[in-house]
Amino acid sequence: MSCADEYAPQLRARGYRMTSQRLAILHVLHHNGGHLSPVEVYEQARTELPSLTETTVYRTLEFLAGNGLVRPALTGSGHLVYEIARHEHHHLVCRNCGNEMEVEHELLKSMYETLEVESGYKLTDSHLTFFGLCPNCQKGD
């Protein structure tokens, strides 16, 4: 299945079309499988679409995040990176070495439910990044 086949129906269901810019950016994120900065997305996507501008990448990433196709996350240095929104998860990031690991949403599900009950908000998006020191950095490795 191509990226267009996978993501175009999701955009159409929201009343949007799949543009060449959106497709190139989704293609890069989909096939990378990890987190990329907007600059990294731009550098990789412009090989597929040379007319792409860095400004368009930033705007498109915001659009795709707002429509639930990609997820933003913070790195240990506080920079924004993006990944395809495959499954709900969160991140633990080491402030010292930058190592990161995923935390399944199920571990925090009760916290989200309590937050909704206590605040009256209905949470529509869920992503948290926790910062700390990984086991190796705690040992001084």
Give percent of the chain above pLDDT 90. Answer: 43
Structural domains present in the chain: 1-86 (1.10.10.10), 87-141 (3.30.1490.190)
Answering whether pTM is above 0.85, one says: no
Find out whether 52 and 63 touch, Cβ atoms under 8 Å: no
Q: Which helix (H) or strand (E) holds 83?
A: strand 80-84
pLDDT tens per residue, range 37-84: 999 999 999 999 999 999 999 999 999 998 889 988 877 677 888 988
pLDDT band of 104, cuts 50, 70, 90? confident
